[in-house]
Chain A
Amino acid sequence: MHPGIYQCVMEWVPEGARVLDLGTGDGAFLERLVRARHIVAEGVEKNPELVARCIERGLVVHQGNIMEGLDQYGDQTFDYVTLLGTFQELISPVEIVREAFRVGRRVIIAYSNFAHFRVRLQIMLRGRTPVTPSLPQPWYRTTNLHFLSTLDFREFCRTIGVSETRHACFNSRGAVVFLPNLFAEEVVALLESAR
């Protein structure tokens, strides 16, 4: 995950907000967010060893997969629901984003851009499934299920009736402003319900 993405989330989440972090890992980032922004946070993580690490850090954490995790909460319990690093691995992104909007008012999603020029070149010139710094695993080992670009993501948002109010794009050199669908490797977006 590009450090710029964490920086964006730090800036976008206001002081004192209620945040649910899905796929919280060992809780390192959520702990930083709690300390820096004095938020009230909960995490969801399926790996018990990582859940134990979150407990060591003093985080409120729920062991379960993302859908089970979301199902635990009542409507509009959180100001923000964050999904930073697993979006392209989710089996049913539509249902999860809908559930995230049931539980929270805003949703922050990070994803990898599969239309980066290096990916395009590998497919076109080498005729091989791409392996790049942001897609480091070969096809038989990758955990990614869905392959999307920034344009695809915007269309996805329109389809499910949510609007992207902020976004930021990154590659190994830093922030990307010019032709992000071609030059961005990782993207983070702040979504609000269009309702």
Chain B
Amino acid sequence: MKDPPASMLQGDLQDQKIAGYHSPLGVTRTQTVTFRGVQVQSGFTFDQVDVAYQTLGTLSPRRDNAILVCHALSGTAHVAGLHPNTGRPGWWDFHVGPGKAIDTDKFFVVCSNVLGGCDGTTGPLSPCPETGKPYGMDFPPLTVRDMVEVQAKLMEHLGLSQLFTVIGGSMGGMQALSWAVHFPERVRVCVPIATCVSHNAMQIAFNEIGRRAIMTDPNWNGGNYTPDRRPNHGLAVARMVGHVTYLSEYAMARKFGRALQPPVNAADAEAALFAVESYLHHQGESFVSRFDPNSYLCLTKALDQFDLFEGKPPEEVLRRVKARFLAISFASDWLYPPAQSRELVRLLKRARVAATYINLETLYGHDSFLIQNPEFAKVLGHYLENEYGSGHRKDAAAAA
């Protein structure tokens, strides 16, 4: 294995500043739309659901170039371009933009914050209409399918009866899979990345560590915490554990090794931290400033409960799928290991779905799809271009 470029070591764009970062999209804004009377799978009905979303690029006259990007656990609607307030790039700016793998010169890209999230879409932090206070623990349990149903309403609002592609990694991949299964007529191409059809015991275990950290924080207060007394320590620990599971031994060794972070006060040599400790502290603190603890519980529960087949035989469920698939996994991903993607692909193929599978040798663990990753970008870019082109050729042949 050749040594990967140092740029990969920069990591993802979510909780750090990269000096001099340039996004060709410039400043991009998020919009909000409100839907009334939204019922979720648990039976609960929301009077009102706000959905924060971003669109990039231009919809083609044939309305056939829309790509829905589904974000992962800690992602937001701000997928690419610079945030108008913070100036930070969107979480997938490496791969979404003009000339990038998801090319905004060719495709109309939509990304929305998930139901249950905390970046503009209705979630546990939103005011409950009856009390005017945040839902908190009264927020109903959600499923990945609930998130997708709300995205489907957004697509209707945007006049998109068909999506060229639904794509996402990790939790985003679960959403992409749910789209292909529950809206088979509306998805032409599905790209699940580093994901699975249901969590295994280890994935549930790591999520439960995070949840316990939050719920045993002295400020937890049964979930009815106030903005000035939040279970921040618990949430930070949850993020630290999560972050370790997103990396790989190789990535951590190369990025930090056993390097020491010099203490703020030079005389206080005892206080020296390993660079990796300091990094995780930073990740935890940065996450606390932008994420709601109840939202973290709500979303991780939805992930653990996720079962693409909802207890039915996989072949029966997948037989109605019409989309073509590109499944991508990463050899170094131990949180969503390649075996889970292979299992997905096997079930798809047994149901005679046209599925391409590649296990990229990127060394950076689960986060491999969030970082600068030329191999990933190349494969994704070519696949989307070919599928979009072949769709055009087929349409032209049908018209002739």
Binding site for B on A (CB under 8 A): 42, 48, 51-52, 55-64, 68, 71-74, 77
Q: How far apart are A26's CB and chain B's nearest CB, in angstroms?
A: 13
Number of A-B contacts (CB under 8 A): 58
Main SS class of interface, A: mixed
Interface residue ranges of B282-315 to A (CB < 8 Å): none
Cβ–Cβ contact B361 & A72, under 8 A? no
Cβ–Cβ contact B390 & A63, under 8 A? no
Interface residue ranges of B343-391 to A (CB < 8 Å): 345-346, 349-350, 352, 354-361, 375, 378-379, 382-383, 386-387, 389-390
Cβ–Cβ contact A52 & B378, under 8 A? yes
Q: How far apart are A74's CB and chain B's nearest CB, in angstroms?
A: 5
Cβ–Cβ contact B350 & A74, under 8 A? yes
Cβ–Cβ contact A60 & B356, under 8 A? yes
B83 at the interface (CB under 8 A from A): no
A72-B349, A73-B350 are contacts. A58–B386 as well, Cβ < 8 Å? Answer: yes
Cβ–Cβ contact B352 & A48, under 8 A? no
Can you report 5 residue pairs joining A to B where beta carbons are below 8 Å apart?
A: A48-B360, A56-B378, A58-B389, A60-B355, A73-B350
Cβ–Cβ contact B352 & A74, under 8 A? yes
A48-B361, A51-B358 are contacts. A72–B346 as well, Cβ < 8 Å? Answer: yes
Task: Collect the chain A residues with CB atoms within 8 Å of residue B354's CB.
Answer: 42, 60
Cβ–Cβ contact A56 & B382, under 8 A? yes
Cβ–Cβ contact B352 & A62, under 8 A? no
B342 at the interface (CB under 8 A from A): yes
Task: Collect the chain B residues with CB atoms within 8 Å of residue A58's CB.
Answer: 386-387, 389-390
Cβ–Cβ contact B352 & A52, under 8 A? no
Q: Which A-chain residue is minimally distant from B378 (CB atoms)?
A: A52
| Residue in B324, B345, B357, B361 with the greatest tally of chain A CB atoms within 10 Å | B357
Cβ–Cβ contact A63 & B383, under 8 A? no
Q: How far apart are B52's CB and chain A's nearest CB, in angstroms?
A: 33
